[in-house]
């Protein structure tokens, strides 16, 4: 069976320290320590494209949306907080998606877990 976009996103998110998954607002959502959301899957039921929404460093949302509006968008509900929407119904660079997911994680994670991720990345 072929791996779906959701399967690939799930694998990236759950590989991060103390990341968990559960449904939130009817969609698979990834949390840090089961408390803080860093990535939310989005099917068309929220009115947007198939993709995900995630926390982003300051200015990243605007930069991505301006550079590639066919791949990135301002998501409803959380877009005003700088979160970025990433389309998965277009050709996807999964290395770039992995970097975006890690940035989202770092934005939300406690400093100890962000440092743990940085240490894991530098040792690999």
Distance of CA 97 to the CA centre of its chain: 8
What pLDDT was estimated at residue 55?
97
112 in a structural domain: yes
Residues 67, 119 contacting (CB under 8 angstroms): no
pLDDT at 2 over 70: no
* Domain span including residue 63: 5-116
What pLDDT was estimated at residue 36?
97
Length of the chain, in residues: 124
What pLDDT was estimated at residue 64?
97
Token pair belonging to 39? 């990535």
pLDDT at 104 over 70: yes
62 in a structural domain: yes
Which residue shows structure tokens 């877009």? 79
pLDDT-based confidence at residue 46 (cuts at 50, 70, 90) = low
124 in a structural domain: no
11 in a structural domain: yes
What's the whole-number mean pLDDT along residues 39-49? Answer: 80
58 in a structural domain: yes
Q: Return d(Cα 15, Cα 106) in angstroms, integer.
A: 13
Which residue shows structure tokens 């550079």? 67
123 in a structural domain: no
CATH number of the structural domain spanning residue 60: 3.90.1150.30
What's the whole-number mean pLDDT along residues 45-50? Answer: 73
Q: What's the structural domain count of the chain?
A: 1
Q: Return d(Cα 28, Cα 24) in angstroms, integer.
A: 6
């Amino acid at each position: 069976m072929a791996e779906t976009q959701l399967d690939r996103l799930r694998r990236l998110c759950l590989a991060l320290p103390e990341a968990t998954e559960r449904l939130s607002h009817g969609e698979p959502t990834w949390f840090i320590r089961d408390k803080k959301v860093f990535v939310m899957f989005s099917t068309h039921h929220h009115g947007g494209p198939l993709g995900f929404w995630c926390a982003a460093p300051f200015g990243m949302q605007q930069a991505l949306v301006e550079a590639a509006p066919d791949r990135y968008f301002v998501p409803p509900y959380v877009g005003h907080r700088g979160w970025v929407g990433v389309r998965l119904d277009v050709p996807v660079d999964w290395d770039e998606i992995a970097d975006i997911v890690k940035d989202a994680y770092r934005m939300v994670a406690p400093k100890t877990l962000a440092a743990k991720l940085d240490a894991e990345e530098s040792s690999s």
